[in-house]
Amino acid sequence: MKNVYRIAIVLFSAAVMVSCGDSFLTRDPYGSTITQGQYEQLANQLEGSMRGIYSMMYSVSDHDAFGKRSIDMYGDLMCGDMALTNYTYGWFYTDEQGQGRTGRTAYIWYYYYSMLHNVNAVLFAAQGGNSASADNVIKRVAVCGLPNTVNTKGSSIVYYTIDAAGDTLATYTETESELANCYAQALTMRGYIYSNLLMLYCEVSKDINDFDTELCFPLYNENNMEAAQPLATMGQVYAQVESDLTNAIDYFTAFSEVQRGSKLAVDKSIAAGILAYSYLNKGKTNGHGESFTNAYTNARDYALLAISSTTATVLSRNDLLETGFNNINNNSWMWGQDVTVETAGGLASFFGQVDIHSYSYAWAGDTKAIDENLYNLIPDYDARKGWFNDGSVNATYKYCPDGKFFSAANRYSTKSDDIDREWLSDNVFMRIESMYLIAAEASYRLKNDADAITYLCAITDERVATGMDSEYSAWKSGLNHTNLLAAIEYNWRVEMWGEGYGLQTFRRLAAEVQGNTKRKRGANHSANGGADIEPGPEYTFQMPSSESSYNPSINTTTNAPKRVIIK
């Protein structure tokens, strides 16, 4: 982990990355960095620090490494729901070949651990820079608890920003409410980071009898981030995720008067959504007795909390084929990035890789499409079939998502003079539809089929093609325990296509839904078309070998499972 230790705590140094769309406090300055002087003049400096963390969600390292949306693509290609149907430039070909678990692991590892280091720095600063202090700032907030016990809410607090060496950089004041909100945001992001690491680096489809002995990866918090840590157990990491996110929800609730500045910032609904998805995957991992039941109960309950805590609504059938999933104002988006001229990644972006109506690799020859077999599962009464090119027009782009993801500047032409060359399409991170799917799947596991159908159909009722209501009604009336899980899996794969849920859906559900048969990759894949695939260790990312080389606390002989080390 030495490489991660050496990353400066950029949040408290001369340059802080900021989002320049619908900003939290002000639209100035418009550039991607601000000076230390400008930073110190922000009304809420910790919020400025959180901007720097959010900017990492879309930071660009290469044309196939541009933050969250590139990691979404790795998983969707790895499981085969997204197909690289043709390639000229080579981007994402290792993922199409099934080699992403080793080829991508270094980028994913350092992406999340770099973000984690900065999140922990915010938490450390929010606690006054000294977690052992009796005057610890966040302890004073925690003592206040819920609103009816808050006595000092709204009063000013003086605290310090410090660097990695412990030297004071600045002192400033902030109301307790603002501090608590930033603290909740940072806790949410840490829960998000660890929940992603669990899903990517642990075998969530495997029964784990003892979470307290199953080793996974090092666990860092605000108090140990400068010392190399050994591998933690899955139980320890899940406990951190659940503690961080439940605490974040409590703080967001207690200090609800602080308004969310934009959809890039996390809030109570996002914290609940991340926690719900974590419990859903945890439930599949440990299918034994009470832990199994509790995980799915929590998954359902937190998904419903997320739904009740957001103004987002399920995308209507009238809007289904009109949005292009390119605008932060989409009513179904809970969390996303408003892409501006300053933050556009150009070719190094999701739309720069996938959208055939933008100047993109997909337009130029590296076409990304829905798996042909998955496309063929979409019935005519499902309007989502229109999300994908059927090949009747412009067959070069057959099965490409030109009805789901298309530039706001142009959704019809693929002529070089017409295509979008500004790449201002926005990025989606979480939609409310995923919460209904979590609630449906968890309810099914809890043997409450009626609720599962209700949550599932909250989506599918808005996905009916024009003139096909009777066909849809026949399908809906035929739902029962025997076919319900397959219907839920299908909707995860189609509804959330291209949004980063494919790999976990495959690992969690494919074997159970397929039964004695194996899922087949469609013939339109440029690699391994028609191959049988089933969940297994090859769909779990491996820890980079550099971690064992640079982290002296990992003993590769006695401490680290061989399955997680790349030789």
Q: pLDDT tens digits for 393-448?
A: 889 999 999 999 999 888 888 999 899 999 999 999 999 999 999 999 999 999 99
Q: Which residue has the higher pLDDT, 63 or 556?
A: 63
pLDDT digits (tens, 9 = 90+) for 443-486: 999 999 999 999 999 999 999 999 999 999 999 999 999 999 99
Taking a C-beta distance cutoff of 8 angstroms, is the pair 284, 205 a contact?
Answer: yes
Provide the pLDDT for residue 341. Answer: 94
Upstream peptide bond of 535 is cis (omega within 30 degrees of 0)? no
DSSP string for residues in 515-562: TTS-EE--TT-SSSTT-EE--SGGGSPPBPHHHHHH-TT--TTTTS-G
DSSP string for residues in 12-81: GSS-EE---SS-SS-S---SSEE-HHHHHHSS-HHHHHHHHHHHGGG--SBTTB-SHHHHHHHHHHHHTS
Provide the pLDDT for residue 287. Answer: 52
Whole-number average pLDDT of the chain: 83
Average pLDDT over residues 221-234: 92
- Cα separation, 60 vs 342, in Å, equals 13
Q: Is the pLDDT of residue 375 over 80?
A: yes
Identify the DSSP state of 166.
Answer: S
Q: Is the pLDDT of residue 379 over 90?
A: yes
Helices 469-477, 449-460: crossing angle, 10 deg rounding: 160
Closest to 442 in 3D by CA, of 305, 218, 283: 283
Provide the pLDDT for residue 509. Answer: 95
Provide the pLDDT for residue 20. Answer: 30
Q: Which residue has the higher pLDDT, 461 or 29?
A: 461
